[in-house]
Amino acid sequence: MRLKIILPLALAAALIPALLFLKPAPPPAPAETADLTAPAAPASTAVPVRPIASPAAPDPVPTVAADAEAEKEAAEIQAKIDRLEDLQSNDDAESLHAILNELTDSNRVIRHAAIEATTQFRDRAAIPVLSDLAARTTDPEEKQELLDAVEFLTLPTYTEVMAEKKRASRGVQ
């Protein structure tokens, strides 16, 4: 082999094990606390000075209940999102109705998931509902998301495009 190849390989082979076995230096030991007693004075007037104690830290506020409540709420939201994802793959009116009902949920995350599920469901029957919600919402981002979903659902499907091409090629209109 050429020297250009062998030399870097040998260097890398020597450095990699060395780097793996190097340990970082231990952190420096904390400095010992200074003795805060008064300097030596005559025995009759010596008054020892006590170190100033730091104020006690306040007891932590128990947040177990709040954390449990937040986890429960997050689990409920995720369960609704999972349900919407399951419904979007169905092809029945009940599933579409259930998805459309979630478009008015009070939680923005669930409404977003419902818009996505409606788009994935690909049923044009949802267009009037989406248009109505877009007209009534005051949030510009959500309004745009709803209008984008309406625009997507109004696009022709692949089957419709192919049927149109077929009709055009036959001269039938």
How far lies 2's CA from each of 7, 8, 37, in Å? 9, 11, 73
pLDDT at position 66: 76
157 within a domain of the structure (yes/no): yes
The residue range of the domain holding 142 is 66-170
pLDDT recorded at residue 62: 54
Candidates 130, 124, 134, 132; CA nearest to 155 is: 124
Q: Is 96 inside a domain boundary?
A: yes
**What pTM was estimated for this model as a whole?**
0.59
**CA atoms of 122 and 89, how far apart (whole Å):** 10
CA contacts within 13 A on the Cβ side of 29: 3
Question: pLDDT per position in the chain (173 positions), as tens?
Answer: 566 677 666 766 766 666 566 656 566 665 554 455 545 555 555 555 555 555 555 555 555 677 888 899 999 999 999 999 999 999 899 999 999 999 999 999 999 999 999 999 999 999 999 999 999 999 999 999 999 999 999 999 899 999 999 999 887 55
What is the structure's pLDDT at 6? Answer: 72
pLDDT at 48: 57
Residue 112 domain flag: yes
What is the distance between the terminal CA atoms of the chain, rounded to a whole angstrom? 74
pLDDT at 93: 93
Specify if 108 maps to a domain.
yes
Radius of gyration, alpha carbons of the chain? 36
In a domain, 44, yes or no: no
How high is the pLDDT of residue 52? 54
Tell whether 47 is covered by a domain.
no
Residues 148 and 115: beta-carbon distance below 8 Å: no
**pLDDT computed for residue 1 by the predictor:** 53
**Is 29 within a domain?**
no
CA gap 141, 108 in Å, rounded: 11
Is residue 5 in a domain?
Answer: no
Tokens describing residue 134: 């877009």
- Position 109 scores a pLDDT of 95
The total number of structural domains in the chain stands at 1
